[in-house]
Amino acid sequence: MSGTLLPGIEARALRTSRYTANVLERPAEGEPTRTVLFVHGNVSSSLFWQPLMLSLPAGVRALAVDLRGFGDSETLPVDGSRGVRDFSDDVAAVVDELGLGASHIVGWSLGGGVVMQLLLDRPDLVASLTLVSTVSPYGFGGTAADGSLLNADASGTGGGGANPDFVARLAAGDTSEESPTSPRAVYRSSYVAPGFVSEYEDLWVESMLSTATGPDNYPGDAGPSEHWPGFGPGTRGVLNTLAPTYFNTAGIVDAPAKPPILWIHGAVDAIVGDASFFDLNQLGAAGVIPGWPGEEVAPPQPMLAQTREVLARYAEAGGATREVVFEDCGHSPHIEKPDEFRAELLAWIS
């Protein structure tokens, strides 16, 4: 175990049918009243969940899993052409190996996409879903408001969209703050709202630096495109799992099983929004990337509007949903607004 554990958290290396998973646990006192499994987001790990896990009532069994290539889990190739199924199948293998059965599943950012896919493929494992600053059901970038592809190549999405200096600094284990592309600076500018200060910042940076880098992991590879900005998704690695050519979880609307879904996000999220500066079309519209072909050809993805519309249809089809927006909060409500987050989560899963 290389990650820093807070007192009260236990870690184990769990061999499953798919990979060796690092699993954190805050055990319940006595027989658990509820079991909650937390799934982290991109460029992070289960370490981000520890303070929340420790703050839950004693009767709750709280677990958090590291996805492949993150934290202390085994680094295996990620097949981007399967969408997030390498990740969701891994989570299912962990739940099966632990014998958890239907649990309350919480997914943050990329993890939100993973747990939506889990609902589609293994509904027997899901008692409820909590989506935290989740990726849109239509993936990241390259789609119109209705979720349709802007072009067949899904140009500007996938592994080619990562900042190469950020990737290099991740690989080098950079803990500095001088460069705007250092993991610490990216955490401060994008993971949380401006000005947010945490006693655990070094732990969050440690978590980010646990990310395995390369074409088979983060960020992945890229493919050619005849459309601006000249590349499209590849087939390998993390960012390609969210390319809209491979990822679409809007099918939850028609899924026979409809566990309740809670959606929590921050009002000033820099990563997932209707005008995200992690969306290359938004960067083009802002003049950051030259040659943008214009709003009619390459509009920014309305990520929040897409999620809201899919969840509205999910509710119309019989599933219970709730949207919660925290003001003065960025991409990480569970660490920025821990008391409010915990209250919403416990009310939902009770």
Q: How many other C-beta atoms can be found within 10 angstroms of the C-beta atom of residue 146?
A: 10
pLDDT of residue 3: 77
pLDDT of residue 82: 98
Read off the pTM. Answer: 0.98
pLDDT of residue 11: 98
Averaged pLDDT, groups of 10, the chain, 350 residues long: 87 98 97 97 98 98 98 98 98 98 98 98 98 98 98 97 97 97 98 97 98 98 97 98 98 97 98 96 96 97 98 98 98 98 97
pLDDT of residue 258: 97
Q: Cα–Cα distance between 242 and 114 in angstroms, integer?
A: 10
List Cβ neighbours of 168 (8 Å cut-off, separation of 6 or more). none
Q: Cα–Cα distance between 34 and 101 in angstroms, integer?
A: 11
List Cβ neighbours of 176 (8 Å cut-off, separation of 6 or more). 182, 184
Q: For residue 33, with 0-12 CB atoms within 10 Å meaning exposed, 13-18 middle and 19 or more buried, which class applies?
A: middle
What's the number of CA atoms in the CB half-sphere (13 Å) around residue 23?
A: 23
State how beta strands 126-132 and 218-219 pair.
Answer: unpaired
Q: Cα–Cα distance between 151 and 179 in angstroms, integer?
A: 35
Angle, CA 223 vertex, CA 152 and CA 226 arms, to 5°: 50
- According to DSSP, the residues that pair with 208 across neighbouring strands are none
The number of angstroms, rounded, from the C-alpha of 236 to the middle of its chain's C-alpha atoms is 18
**Helix residue ranges, H only, 159-279:** 164-172, 183-186, 201-209
Q: For residue 226, with 0-12 CB atoms within 10 Å meaning exposed, 13-18 middle and 19 or more buried, which class applies?
A: exposed
Output Rg (C-alpha) for the chain, integer angstroms. 19
pLDDT of residue 2: 63
- According to DSSP, the residues that pair with 28 across neighbouring strands are none
pLDDT of residue 10: 98
Count H helices and E strands in the chain, helices first: 10, 12
